Every structure is written in C-alpha cells, then in structure tokens.
Amino acid sequence: MRDVPIIPLGDDPGGDAAEGSPARPWQTGTRLSSGGAGAIGSRLADAAEAFLARAGFDRAPWLAVVLAAGIAAWFVLPQLWQWCAAIAAGLGLALGARLLWPFGSAADETRAHLRGALIACGLVFALGVALIWARSAIVGAAPIKAPMLAEIDGHVLAREDEPAEGRLRLTLAVRLPGEEAARKVRVNVPFAAFGETGAPPGLAEGARVRLRALLMPPASPMLPGAYDFARAAWFKGLSATGTMVGPLVVLRPAKAGWGLARLQRALAAHVRARVDGPAGTIAAAFASGERGSIAPADEAAMRDSGLTHLLSISGLHVSAVIGAAYLAMLRLLALWPALALRLRLPLVAAGGGALAGIGYTLLTGAEVPTVRSCLAALLVLGALALGREALSLRMVAVAAAAVLLLWPESAIGPSFQMSFAAVLAIVALATSAPVRAFMAARDEPWWRRLLRQVAMLFATGVVIELALMPIVLFHFHRAGAYGALANVVAIPLVTFVAMPMIALGLVLDLAGLGAPCWWVVEKALDLLLAIARFTAAQAGAVTLIPQISRATIALFVVGALWLGLWRGRVRLWGLVPIAAASLMAAMTPIPDVLIAGDGRQVGITLRLADGGRGLVVLRDSRSDYVRDNFMELAGVRADPVPLASWPGARCSSAFCAVRIVRGGQAWNLLIALSRFQVPERALAAACAEADIVVADRRLPRSCLPRWLKADRRYLAASGGLAIDLSRREITSVAETQGAHGWWRGSTVARRGDLAWPSGTDNLR
C-alpha cells in the first residue's frame, strides 16, 4: 500500500486536477487490496466522496429530509418490531461509519464528507422514528368504543364559528358516563339550537356547558386513499366527535376579557361588517385565518382554480405582513436623523417586522403553514439584519426541522408537504444559475425590466404548480390545468392590493376613516373570486385520478429533492425518477369496485360509449363527503347513478344483482340493498351464483360466493376496499394501518394480492 497526498476536499472539488498538481483523493485513493470486496468498497467510497464534494453537499437541508423520512417510516411500517428495527438500522449506520473510518486514521481526511454524512443521517433518521413514536404515545387519545347518545357536562376548550355551515364547533373536556378520566370531544352545535337570540354571550373558551350529544368514534378512511380523520383526531387528542341533540345550557359563562380566540372572532366579524358579500368572507380569512364563513361554492371554485392556497394563512400572507412592517418601520425611522445616525435601522426594523409576524401568526391560529412561514421569515429578517444572504436552502431546512420537532405528525400531512414543497421550489429556482443570470441587474429600460419580472413570476407559478401537483394528486386525487395562469394575476392582487389595504383599513378604523380602504378590498377580492370562478368553469380545469401508489409518490419526492438540493448539472438526474413516477401515475389503474368500510355504499365504475367513465352507486347519498370520496377515488367527475335505476342491475327489496365484464371475464356481484330477511336457502343459492357478495350485515356461513364475501364481519377487519377485477387485486384500508393506535380494525392477513381476515372463509 503506497502513501498518497492528503488534500482537503474543499479545494477545487468540482474541477479536474491541473497539470502538475497533486492528485485528488477520489482520483487515486488508498487501496485496501489489489482486488476483491475491499477494493470494490474502497472505489465505491471514493466515488461517493467525490460526488458529495462535486454536487455541493450541504448537510442542513438533507438532515431535515432525513428527519422527515424517519417520521414517515414510522407511519408506513405497520408493526412495533419494525419501528424498533428502523431505529436500530439508523443507529447501526452511524456506528458502522464511525467504526469503518475512525477519527485520526488515514481515512479521517479522505472520507470526511462520507463519514460525516452517514453518521449524521443515521442518527437523525433514528431520531425521527423515535420522535413520532413518542409523540403518538404522549398525545394520542384512544377513541370511544362505540357510538353513544349521552348527556355531557364539560369545559369549553375551543370554539370555532362556521356561519357557512350554519353551526359552531365546540371542543370540550368531558367525563363520559362510566369513566373517570377526562376526554376531549368535538361537538357540532347548529345555530338553530339558539333560536333568534343567537349563541349565549358567555359561550366561549373557559365556559362550562351541559348538552346532549350523539357521539361517534373518529372515522377511519372510508376507502383506501381517503382522508384518515381517525389519525388526525388521534394526534389532536380527540376521542369522539358528534352533533348536539336538544338544548345547550351554559352552567358557568366564560370570564370576561380578551383572549386570542375571542380577538380572532371579533376581528373576523369586524371585517365582514366592513366588506359585504363573499368578498367579506375572504377578507376575514386573510385578516384572522377564520374560513368558516366562506361559502362552499366559493371554496370549491378557489380549489378547482388552483387558488385555494391563498385562503390558508401561509408564506404569502405572513411575508406580506412582515415585509410591510419592516419597510414601514425602516422608512419611518429614517425620517428621524438623530436616530438614524445612532442606530442600525435594518436591525431595528427587523425587530418590528418580527413582532408583527409573530402577532399575526398567533392571531390567525398558529397553524403549521403559518408557523413555518413565520420561522422562515424570521430567519430572513435575521439574515437581512446581519447582512447575510436571505434566500437559502439552509433557511428552509431550519424552519422545516423546527416544525417537525414540534409537530412531527405534520410530515405526512398535505399542509406541511405543500408548504415546504412550494418554498423549496422557489428557493431552488431563484438560486439556480440560469435564473440568476436572467434576473441580474443591467442597464435597460424600465419596461424591459418589468417584462423580465413578469416572466419570472409566471415561471415561478409554473414551477410551484409542478412541484405541488404530485402532492395534490396523492392527497386530493385531482390536478388543475390553469392554476399557474390564475396565480400570475391572483398572487400580486392579494400581496400588493388586498393584504395592504386590509391592514391599512384596520388601522384607519381606529379613527373611523377606513371606508376607502375597505372599498378597494371589496373590489380586489371580487376580482379574485371572478378569476377563480372563470378558471374553475373552463373545460379540463380539473382532472380526477384514482389513488396513486406510495411508490409513485416516493419517486416524485426523491426526484424533486434531488432537483432542489443538489447544485450543478448533477441535479438534472432528478428528472429520471420524476419521469418514472409520471409514467406510473398515468398508468394508475382505476378500481372496478369500491366498497365503503361499513358496507352501506358500493360504487362500480363503468366504461361509457363515448370513451369516458361513469359511476354507479348503491345508494343516492345525501352526503357530499360520501359522494366526493367515491367520485375522486374512481376518477369520475360526472354525477353517480343509483344502482336501482341503472338498466344493468336487477334489484329486489333486499339485494341487487349486477353482471359486469372486466379483463375478458364476466363477474357477478350480489349487493345487499336493505336488511330485509331472506330465506337462508334462497340466499345460499344466490351466493353460489355470485363471484362477489357485499352486505352491511353478517351473512351466514352457507353464503359461499365464488371469490369474495365482503360482509360486516369481513369489512370490520379490512375497512374499505378497492377492487381491480382485471388484476384480481384487493386493496384494503387495513393494509396501511398496522398497529397504530388510531386503527380500530382487526389484524388483516395477506395471501398474494388478496387480503382477508385471519381464520375466515370470506375469500375462496
């Protein structure tokens, strides 16, 4: 083994060795042997070390990614022993790197980047798994065992007004009948219960109330890929949700005073009083974060046009508030020469902007996107005050890590993912060499500079839309086509017109002079809603697709992170997994049969004569939630048709028989329509002729279909089902739940592609 020069990796990491200069470690390396596994391992380590040096490895952003990966791994892995194994794997990786390349050895310099990366990533991954596991054990609240109608006496923890739904929501701390420990429950209280007098004035945080309510355990996903409210309720500490039936009595009114929640409601009411119509509800959301007064039709238009992010208080709003406060204080202080000569004004203005941002964050509810935005904005202010670069990936990483340490469960939620994906896309685009060259200062007419800024705004909107599209598809099963165009107008309208005028109007209202500002706000937000409605009404504005797989979204995430976090041409390799994921998403199969977890709703997708798809459902549900879930997961936009009125079904008072052809094979379905009693022999004969039987009740053992019996007993264990008949694949809700505390189903065994409860004969 020959000695080689030790050259720090920071010296000319990306270029070729100059003629006559010493060879770089990754070009020669220290050979362990002339061949065999040792030489191969050494060459791989050399290549990895060289890659880290060339690609501009910055540890902070990647550590935030690894922390999120550890948290996500706990959610994905179903069993306790797998969580322990994940922690052990992270610790083992760190220990292995430490033992393989000890400090002070010959490899101390040549493997510094690689060893440090492996040790840090291993420890942070293990921390992520342990962090979310501990968080679940500490804050998780077991759901009630069964629905109950009970009279409850509790303390009001939170009150949310939802005028658009005609109700308010109370979060209560109560002791349920037969229990000693207090539980947290959420109850919907209709405004009709209060009559014309409205809600009692003492009904606020801190009050004690008595009411009668129908309580339900938090609902698990209705179908595979649907929203998991049970998981969200677990981390919020909710044991039950329900609706009040009967009167509400305030036993002890809330104490007089002004808390943040009361100030938020008062501010929203004040803004709605100053701005009429739908524009007032949007203005109230911008000012206080209260979205309960926005009409469902307006919220749907904002969603389908790609503008719904404007309703969630996040980076756009916080940045506008902090930026306005920073600039206003800087200009005002500059008017005082004695102060300007003695103080560093950017530092003082940054402090004022920080206070404004923190106050706005607290006032609007301190949701995850708002906290993230506030943290990031505070880091930007700190950088400006210190004269450092304000826009950097490290800033984003610090903000992400702070949010994950406080609320690790947010890592798998759309709010966190969309918020940080958008910021990462903006930072990666703004710091790329082509964009820096395009936006560099130059001697040119003002109109040309304005055109470049407009082009950059449009490019940023397109990049954000592309970055958010996989996340939106995974969580909401929809993609918008015109969101980037709508945002080019909507974002400046909100940032430079609506938000400043709302703030100025609130200040001038102290002297009764805010009316002109509110007029401008109303016109601006009317225009915003007009843009949203026009965009959402266009053909092809929204495309629904079924649930994409976890592998598909994982490839999207890997590719996006690769594009965003590396530097130089190596980042373009991120397009490879993105292209593969796009192909997989386009090839996502549409389920032939969807079965809700309670068995009371079944959907069958149809191929229409015009090449489109339709949906036939067992019952014409009055619930928008049920209908939307089935339409989204079937990838169908047309209104579903009730099964009893579909010509292809033969229905009696108890069952419907359906025959469909998939994959060149005819399938016979027998679906329970009601709970009318059927003679056992007749039922057994009907089951024998069916391939699949679905019922919301237990069926006798004599009911033996040719393939699957999804009765109440089966569905209680599996949850909702999505069935692909052509591939003979069954996907169940239970497959993604495992041993996590919020899942109330039984253990589900697997055999190949088919899932069924252990020890039953439901699958034949």
pLDDT digit string (tens) for 510-544? 888 889 999 999 999 999 999 999 998 887 788 88
Does 598 lie in the same domain as 577? no
Write out pLDDT tens, residues 369-414.
677 677 777 777 777 666 666 667 887 888 888 889 989 999 998 8
Hey, what are 285's tokens? Answer: 């959301």
Q: What is the model's pLDDT at position 196?
A: 72
Whole-angstrom distance, CA of residue 558 vs CA of residue 274: 47
Q: What is the model's pLDDT at position 97?
A: 85
Is residue 420 a part of any domain in this protein? no
Whole-angstrom distance, CA of residue 578 vs CA of residue 463: 14
Is residue 180 a part of any domain in this protein? yes
pLDDT at 100 over 90: no
pLDDT at 231 over 50: yes
Q: What is the model's pLDDT at position 6?
A: 38
Q: What is the model's pLDDT at position 52?
A: 65
Q: What is the model's pLDDT at position 478?
A: 82
Residue ending a domain, among 139, 163, 182, is: 139
Does 272 lie in the same domain as 175? no
- Residue 257's pLDDT band, with cuts at 50, 70 and 90, is low
Whole-angstrom distance, CA of residue 349 vs CA of residue 342: 14
pLDDT at 603 over 70: yes
Is residue 314 a part of any domain in this protein? yes
Does 344 lie in the same domain as 276? yes
Average pLDDT over residues 278-283: 92
Cβ atoms of 382 and 350 within 8 Å: the answer is yes
Question: Inter-axis angle of helices 36-54 and 112-139, to 10 degrees?
Answer: 80
Half-sphere exposure of 509 (CA within 13 A, CB side): 16
Q: What is the model's pLDDT at position 592?
A: 92
Does 282 lie in the same domain as 212? no
Whole-angstrom distance, CA of residue 235 vs CA of residue 202: 29
CB atoms near residue 558 (< 10 Å) = 17
Residue ending a domain, among 139, 159, 186, is: 139
Give residue 246's region: left, alpha or beta (phi > 0; psi -120 to 50).
Answer: left
- Residue 757's pLDDT band, with cuts at 50, 70 and 90, is very low
Is residue 448 a part of any domain in this protein? no
Does 510 lie in the same domain as 581? no
Does 381 lie in the same domain as 509? yes
Residue range of the domain that includes 563: 550-586
Is residue 684 a part of any domain in this protein? yes
Does 534 lie in the same domain as 561? no
> Nearest 5°: phi and psi at 251?
-75, -35
Write out pLDDT tens, residues 302-314.
888 888 878 776 6
- Mean pLDDT value across the chain: 82
- Residue 183's pLDDT band, with cuts at 50, 70 and 90, is very high
Does 380 lie in the same domain as 308? yes
Does 694 lie in the same domain as 615? yes
Looking at the structure of the chain, the number of domains it has is: 5
Does 322 lie in the same domain as 285? yes
Average pLDDT over residues 537-565: 88
Distances in Å between the Cα of 507 and the Cα atoms of 48, 222, 320, 510, 721 are 57, 47, 16, 6, 55
Is residue 316 a part of any domain in this protein? yes
String of DSSP letters for 130-184: HHHHHHHHHH--PPPSS-EEEEEEEEEEEEEEEGGGTEEEEEEEE--TT--S-EE
